A and B are shown apart, each in its own frame.
Chain A
């Protein structure tokens, strides 16, 4: 994916691994919280439980981070994250199920489901959610740079391929649609590559 020439650059992830102070904690939370949250949700956890569990997992990962050896060939960072998340979610519910068995929520079912998620599936969740997360993050970072109309046309273009239909809908020339799309796409590509590298994709 990224070039070898970039290997020498210290990425945000590498900084977080070596610099464990308050300032870097804030950075860590800012950049990874969202991703960890979606993965938790993807494991079938409800909104309320997810909020509870998120803090615990953030902390656990923060502690484990210096021990994670960055070796892309063996395991991607995002896969490692997901395995940690899964294990944490698992023990969280194990605790819950034995303590609060009288509650309505059937934690046993959840645990069973979690058990069933294989490594390959973890990989897949890690991958798709990472892509979605990074792309959305990129869009968040960028969107204010573009005029409102261009933004709207671009967002719509993700669902609608035909330039002529978009031109019709937004009452602009087809050529403008093409230009908006091309400009934003290119900017997005750059930003996605940057974020992906910084965050250890």
Chain B
């Protein structure tokens, strides 16, 4: 294939845009974003709420405003776009096979690839809710598109299953638009999303949050007529006798996001079974040389600001790889999740660079202590699975925490040990 591309970025949401801009700024000459739809940008236009950019820009922006800034920066940076182009395969030697109705079938072998496909919502099929298959059961993100882009409110009485941020934000949005939200039903004993969303989306509007409850049956023929809601026990099993019928004409699902990695698997990229995203090193290089990844395809972030930062790191490293033709996987030190740590990204580090650890705890707790290699690093008054912990560790301190090629990360109770 004659066409020379230094860095190909797959996906054009906040991660793809940030990675492409960073690759250009790092000196890559031809940076091309491959995108299956007709315009650059991702889902941010439908995220009309505020709360974006507080960390990255120090400003409270809405989704459309945040994306607009990155679109303008991408244009200025000379990022190229191959739109309405579907990547079909990513094979041996980073060969991309793609197709578009305008350019037909094409193959190219870029100097480096950045995976920036983001994530998708868990749909009903993966939740296994018994009952019929009436219409009116949709994901919170689909509903968000209907309401904020297409101008269509898909129901009048809603039940929301799962207390992820999108679900809570849609509870507020639908209420403002005149619909009734009967309840947000959460199987865990704590809400899935951020505290500020619980307060400003649910409490502000008197929307009940039913913790340790789930939907056990979907009723209705043709159109959903209601759901059965039941309490669950400590093993998350429905408790007999606690069932009650809640009428509704729409059930929204906000029960988790899954990194979108079908293409990564085709490329032979190793995935972390916990994050659902590629195993990466501190440069966000995957186990396949020259394939990098950043944003929600690696791990589902709480804040878009961190998506942008992570993807920038991937974009810069991809540009360096394209320039030099190689970059070793920084796999000297394995970062292993210990007590009360669900996962840590990156999974591998060199131990020779400053590193920013992204981690989530398994259980919420008060007075938690983050320990690195068994040694106290930082204390937290409180930790929650819904809020990612991000810690920058300078290289000067790293070596004392690494032993036997491992950096163990624990986030259990603090020394005082008391549960407040």
Q: Is chain B a partner of chain A in the same complex? A: no
Chain B positions near chain A (C-beta within 8 angstroms): none
Which residues from chain A sit less than 8 Å from chain B, CB to CB? Answer: none
